Amino acid sequence: MNALEPTPTLVDISIDAEIATLTLARPEKRNALNDRTIETLGNFFSAPPREVKVAILTGSGGHFSAGLDLSEHVARTPEETMAHSRQWHRVMDNIQFGGLPVISALEGAVIGGGLEMAAATHVRIADATAFFQLPEGRRGIFVGGGGSARIGRILGADRMVEMMLTGRTFAAEEGVRLGLAHYLVDAGAALAKAKEIAAQVASNAPLSNLMIIQALSRIQDMSQADGLFTESLATALAQSSQHAQEGLKAFLEKRAPQFK
């Protein structure tokens, strides 16, 4: 690329009121994820705009993401490879725990690192064209973007082992049945459904949304006693807030709550 040419946009970011839509913008690569794309996502989710309450993550050109961009792969030492993986972990943690509910609209390829990224989102909507695959075993590599923890939690270790050993592809309907997505919609309808759900989630009490996305996954990693104690802390914070007071008042007055 000539030094005078503009750097291509890898993630298109648009904000409509309280909802941000981030669109992976490498359609010629089926939105394969390179380091600059991961860095862009990390920058957004580590410090999202104050007015944004919900984010939608999607892809362009009929695909969500074909995963790690192997065409840009460079030879790394074990130490360098571990550092690269840990950078992915930080970005995926920002998506899952950064404070925003994140909804993914999935179509076409949801493969490898693309599936790892989708698994970090909180609501996953697949259209009829979506397909899911973990082909790392066929490529002599291993998941490095958090898949062993996140996808393994969704599928269970046994199913993930089989998926990685065989590299087989799951179509949209089976992906939903396995939990890789929560909703199945007609081809081309995933983004519209994501916007519908995002508007609903944005109308929730902000503190409730924060507790839901911050506490539940962590409680699952705790002993039952520690999880129950943490639940008590979360409910004490949520139910003593002004949001809870408004929610109860709105219920009694038979109107929609107005959370601020």
DSSP string, 131-196: EEE--HHHHT----SSHHHHHHHHH-HHHHHHHHHH---EEHHHHHHHTS-SEEE-TT-HHHHHHH
Q: Tell me: do 59 and 79 sit in the same domain.
A: yes
- Sheet containing 54-59: give its strands across: 11-16, 19-24, 54-59, 102-106, 123-127, 183-185
So what's the pLDDT on residue 57? 98
Q: Does residue 257 form part of some domain? A: no
Catalytic, 246? Answer no
Overall average pLDDT of the 169-186 stretch: 98
Report helix, strand and coil shares of the chain as percent, to nearest 5: 50, 15, 35
Q: Tell me: do 198 and 210 sit in the same domain.
A: no
So what's the pLDDT on residue 142? 92
Overall average pLDDT of the 59-83 stretch: 89
Which is more confidently placed, 158 or 4?
158
So what's the pLDDT on residue 241? 81
Catalytic residue among 18, 72, 116, 162: 116
Overall average pLDDT of the 174-190 stretch: 98
Q: Is the pLDDT of residue 82 over 60?
A: yes
Q: Residue 64's domain is classified under what CATH number? A: 3.90.226.10
Q: Does residue 127 form part of some domain? A: yes
- pLDDT tens digits for 197-221? 999 999 999 999 999 999 999 999 9
Closest CA to 218 of 86, 117, 94, 97: 97
Q: Tell me: do 75 and 184 sit in the same domain.
A: yes
Q: Tell me: do 41 and 157 sit in the same domain.
A: yes
Q: Tell me: do 117 and 35 sit in the same domain.
A: yes
- pLDDT tens digits for 112-135? 999 999 999 999 999 999 999 999
Q: Tell me: do 131 and 229 sit in the same domain.
A: no
Q: Is the pLDDT of residue 5 over 60?
A: no
Q: How many domains in the chain?
A: 2
| Full domain range(s) for residue 244 | 206-252
- Please report which confidence band the pLDDT of residue 4 belongs to, taking 50, 70 and 90 as the band edges: very low
- pLDDT tens digits for 7-45? 578 999 999 999 999 999 999 999 999 999 999 999 999
Q: Does residue 155 form part of some domain? A: yes
So what's the pLDDT on residue 43? 96
Catalytic residue among 39, 72, 136, 174: 136
Positive or negative, the CA dihedral 189, 172, 181, 64 is negative
Catalytic, 116? Answer yes
- Please report which confidence band the pLDDT of residue 2 belongs to, taking 50, 70 and 90 as the band edges: very low
Angle, nearest 10°, between helix axes 35-46 and 78-97? Answer: 40
Most confident region among 65-69, 81-85, 119-123, 211-215 by mean pLDDT: 119-123
So what's the pLDDT on residue 1? 46
So what's the pLDDT on residue 33? 96
Q: Tell me: do 221 and 145 sit in the same domain.
A: no
Mean pLDDT of the chain: 92
Distance (Å, whole) CA 218 – CA 113: 23
Q: Tell me: do 32 and 17 sit in the same domain.
A: yes
So what's the pLDDT on residue 201? 97
